[in-house]
Chains A and B, each alone.
Chain A
Amino acid sequence: MANRVTRRQFMTRTGLALGGIALGPQLLAACSSDSKDSASGGDSGKGSNDIWFDNWTLYIDKPNDELYGKGGTLDEFQKASGLKIKYTEGYNDNNEYFAKIQPLLSKGDPIGPNIIAPTFWMAGRLIGLGWLEKLPLSKIPNAKNLVTSLQKPPSDPTGEYSLPWQSGVAGIAYNQKVTGRELKSMDDLWDPAFKGKIGVLTEMRDTIGLIAMSLGTDLDKPTYQNFQPAFAKLEEEVQNGQIRQFTGNDYVKDLSQGNFAACIGWSGDIVQIQKDNPDIRFAVPESGGTLWYDTMVIPKGAQDLDAVAKWMDYVYDPVNAARITAAVQYIPTVAGVQDELRKMGGDAAALADSQLLFPDATTLANLQSWGNLSESEEQKFDEEFARISGS
């Protein structure tokens, strides 16, 4: 019976082994020095490409539905500069993406892409955490074409870390056939006739921003105290069943399907859906809409900054920016695009007159952008918003 292992023996020995394994790494870690292993993680995935731009979806032109289609921005850039660019659409949600890059950047490791596209507030957070490289502005002469309203914004006061990519407006999107009428203000969203058919965004700044503006609060110096009434209003409408769901970009589907009579939505999306479904309308609420923008930033540890500079310089040429705008139909952040669109003629020229893409002074006066939130304030906002939205 010498080689029979009894249950008791097995459990004892395995227990000891387990204990050893559980404690072992701790002992080893304590003994070994803290060597920061600078693996060449920066190039993982980038391969032989000079530039890797990880962006949101529907944010660049695709001739014949191909990213690198002939005559498209990516194709023309590669031909003009001789550089290779890898463009991926992995940026789906700010918080989601932050959760992906946080483990690496917090330890000082590079993440792979050398350009990413956070929304302005997320760029502000990354700047505050010191996780971005300064832009090589001396090599981006076209950066001077940045529209004046977005120069040195609150989220990037020195203007050295971010260059806006596209801008847009959050307002009321509604299905005219379901509502039976035009909607003009936030109070229309709370109309009891639409009970259970209203959607709002998981993007806290757009949802709470619009509600706060409808209650007379400005967005430029937000504090948790000031925004209590807005949170209370949101909670009230959630509790009484007026608001059906908090959605991300998928509000587009619910709107088309008639699940939502109206919801908070983004201007460029609506312009794009209107082609297929003319019943969908967009309106900036009378009390004001939120103006937001997404940025191009360079994560810390990225390589090939000269190549990145060439790309940024390329897309800040009004001709190229117009090509992108004609496809994505968001508000361009480069001056001179309106004239270029008119020169392009056809559908593009019609866009030049759209209030959604080129809001005139009156419309602009009705749009506000969020001021900065400190880390602790932002945490309070996010937690309260999460509590109300049922998470």
Chain B
Amino acid sequence: MAKNATDDDRGLRKSRFAPYGLLSPGVIWLLLFFLVPVVMLFKASLSTKPSRFAEPQFDWDWSNFSSAFSQYGSVFVRSFVFAGVATILAILIGYPLAYWIATQGGRFKNLLIGLVVVPFFTSYLIRTIAWTSLLQDENFIVSFLRIFMGQDFRILATPAAVIGGLTYNFMSFMILPIYVSLEKIDFRLTEAAGDLYGSPWTAFRKVVFPLSLPGVFAGSLLVFIPAAGDYLNNRYLGSPQTSMIGTVVQNKFLVQFDYPQAAALSIVLMVIITVLVLVYSRFMGTEGLAV
């Protein structure tokens, strides 16, 4: 029944190289800005430096990887915990907001989604620094909370501040994909659910939520992955006890000039995140995950 595919080719007269031509910008971009740097990073991680400011010498030195785990294992764990909590919080806060805009937004949907994006017009750094002003010890927020939590209470320089900063900074990345996948849902399905004696909550649980999962999946990736490697939030909102792997890599690279160790830590971070993402996508089930 299907027409022979080559019958359609006459109109476009493609050359043999058309597929390559169309794909080459993307492939070249991936090569130049992903593959080549990762290979260089891998080479650097297997190098040693004869002295602090000399060039690293490539010599298959795997000790950087073993020390990455032994010395910084706890920092890795902390980074993933912070990023995980930030992701969950982002879902808990972002999903209802996206749902409300998608279903109740009406004429103002675009405006409301625009408002979600507007904070991102300011730089990431400025947004984080703004939080230090808001959460300072003598400001109204902390003074108010001190009524309940005692005079020694503070928000800045605690894990809560870092997680809060991470959640806030990546919130838009959660809201937008969820909104997009909710938008695509035909809400007559909920009516159908009602016709089948389902309560609104059941309709949500069994119809709307599963259909919005691709958005939740995409949003979680977009929040978790950068949050795990983040260092700015810890730098401004954290304390020495909340250091994350991004902090360590930054110090290793810029202050210690220990490029091999910094490269090894980065690779370990990439590998662990890849594994976590694969596990997560297995758990979600990958059919129909395209947003």
**Those of B252-282 within 8 Å (CB) of chain A:** 252-257
Interface hits, B210-261 → A, CB 8 Å: 238-243, 247-248, 250-257
- Residues on A with beta carbons closer than 8 Å to the beta carbon of B247: 390-391
CB atoms of A388 and B240 under 8 A apart = yes
| Contact partners of A241 in chain B: CB under 8 A | 241
* Chain A, range 93-125, C-beta contacts under 8 Å to B: 95-96, 99, 102, 106
Within A24-39, the residues touching B (CB, 8 Å) are none
Q: Main SS of the interface on chain A? A: helix
In angstroms, how far is the closest chain B Cβ from the Cβ of A370? 17
Q: Which residue of A lies closest to B138 (CB)?
A: A258
Instruction: Assess whether A187 is interfacial by the CB under 8 Å rule.
Output: no
CA distance A185 to B18 in the complex (A): 76
Contact A258–B137 (Cβ < 8 Å): yes
A383, closest chain B residue (CB): B256
Task: Indicate if the CB atoms of B53 and A106 lie closer than 8 Å.
Answer: yes
Within the assembled complex, what's the spacing in Å between the Cα atoms of A383 and B156? 26
Give the complex CA separation of A18 and B254 in angstroms: 31
What string of 1s and 0s marks CB contacts (under 8 Å) between A1-30 and chain B? 111110000100110001001100000000
- Indicate whether B189 reaches chain A with its CB closer than 8 angstroms: no
A5 / chain B contacts, CB cutoff of 8 Å = 16, 19-20
Return chain A residues, CB-CB under 8 Å to B9.
3
**B255 and A245: CB pair below 8 A?**
no
Residues of B near A389 (CB, < 8 A) are 240
Judged by a CB distance under 8 angstroms, whether B31 is at the interface is yes
Docked complex Cα distance between A14 and B152 (Å): 61
Query: Counting CB contacts under 8 A, is A215 at the interface?
Result: no
A-B contact count (CB 8 A): 95
Q: A2 CA to B252 CA in the complex, in Å? A: 54
A379: contacting residue among B23, B31, B256, CB under 8 A: B256
Interchain nearest-CB distance for A165 vs B (Å): 23
Measured between beta carbons, the chain B residues less than 8 angstroms from A367 are none
Cβ contact within 8 Å between B239 and A382: no
Q: Are B254 and A96 in contact (CB under 8 A)?
A: yes
**Identity of the chain B residue whose Cβ is nearest the Cβ of A259 in the assembled complex:** B137
The number of chain B residues touching the other chain, given as a range, is: 35 or more
Q: A196 to B254, Cβ gap below 8 A?
A: no
Chain B residues lying within 8 Å of A18, measured Cβ to Cβ, are: 31, 35
Interface range on chain A (Cβ under 8 Å from partner): 35 or more
Q: A95-B255, A259-B137 are in contact. Are A390 and B18 (CB under 8 A)?
A: no
B123: Cβ under 8 A from any A Cβ: no
Let me know if B51 is at the binding interface, CB within 8 A: yes
Complex contact A386–B251 (CB within 8 A): yes
Cβ of A298 under 8 Å from chain B: no
Q: Is the CB of A245 within 8 A of B157?
A: yes
* Closest chain A residue to B71, Cβ basis: A387
- Residue among B136, B157, B250, B255 with most chain A CB within 10 A: B255
B51 and A386 contacting across the interface, CB-CB below 8 Å: no
- B55 interface residue (CB < 8 Å to A): yes
* A114–B241 CA distance with the chains assembled, in angstroms: 41
Q: A388: which B residues are within 8 A, CB to CB?
A: 240
Question: How long is the Cα–Cα vector from A238 to B14 in the complex, in angstroms?
Answer: 67
Q: How far is the CA of A14 from the CA of B28 in the complex (A)?
A: 11
Whether a CB of chain A sits under 8 angstroms from the CB of B188 is: no
A23 CB to closest chain B CB (Å) equals 11
- Which 9 A-B pairs give the minimum distances between C-beta atoms? A390-B240, A391-B251, A390-B243, A258-B138, A257-B136, A95-B255, A5-B19, A99-B254, A3-B16
Q: 9 additional contacts, CB 8 Å, given A10-B23, A257-B133?
A: A3-B16, A18-B31, A257-B136, A258-B136, A258-B137, A258-B138, A259-B154, A376-B51, A391-B243
A-B contact pairs, 27 of them (CB 8 A): A1-B6, A3-B15, A14-B27, A21-B31, A22-B35, A99-B253, A99-B257, A129-B53, A195-B152, A196-B152, A244-B239, A253-B132, A258-B136, A258-B138, A259-B157, A376-B51, A378-B52, A379-B52, A382-B256, A386-B256, A389-B240, A390-B240, A390-B241, A391-B243, A391-B248, A391-B252, A391-B255
